Amino acid sequence: MTKQTIDQLKKRYSKFHEQKIRVQAELEGAQKRLKDLQKQAKEEFGTHNINELTEKLATMKSSNEQKRQSYQESLDKIETELAQVEADFERTTADEESE
């Protein structure tokens, strides 16, 4: 280890002190952001507890999947019924033309 002068040590201290101030400001900002997000979660979902939010998310995903599946089934049914109507129309038109 190289022997440092008082001026060098003061510069090192000053550098570390500035870094400490920056980190403290970042920490305060992060803590405020966390508090804001917790408040938002409480307002939107009734809790800010991470375990409860995780459960709510799983429930919402499951519900969304059920709705998506139901929507797909409805569209499939409509598509099948439409194809049947078109086939019936073509048959009727062909029967009328052959008469």
Confidence of residue 99 (pLDDT cuts 50, 70, 90): low
Q: Is the pLDDT of residue 95 over 80?
A: no
Q: Which residue is listed with tokens 């052959």? A: 98
Separation of alpha carbons 39 and 31, rounded Å = 12
Q: What is the pLDDT of residue 97?
A: 75
Separation of alpha carbons 33 and 35, rounded Å = 5
Hey, where are the domains in the chain?
Answer: 1-48, 63-99
Question: pLDDT digit string (tens) for 5-32?
Answer: 999 999 999 999 999 999 999 999 999 9
Question: pLDDT digit string (tens) for 52-90?
Answer: 999 999 999 999 999 999 999 999 999 999 999 999 999
Q: What is the pLDDT of residue 1?
A: 81
